[in-house]
């Protein structure tokens, strides 16, 4: 159970980091327009 939770936390953090990165890039492109 703890192993699954640990994997889920790492996966969730990874997804959130990717999402934040894409959001910042998208926002910068919008501001340049």
- Per-residue pLDDT tens digits of the chain, which is 33 residues long: 688 999 999 999 999 999 999 999 999 999 998
**Residue 33 pLDDT:** 84
**pTM of this prediction?**
0.57
**Residue 7 pLDDT:** 94
**Residue 26 pLDDT:** 96
CA 27, CA 31: separation in Å to the nearest integer? 6
**Residue 1 pLDDT:** 65
Residue 24 CA to its chain's centroid (Å) = 11
**Residue 25 pLDDT:** 97
């Amino acid at each position: 159970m703890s192993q699954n939770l640990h994997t889920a936390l790492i996966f969730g953090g990874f997804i959130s980091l990717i999402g934040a990165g894409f959001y910042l890039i998208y926002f910068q492109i919008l501001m340049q327009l």
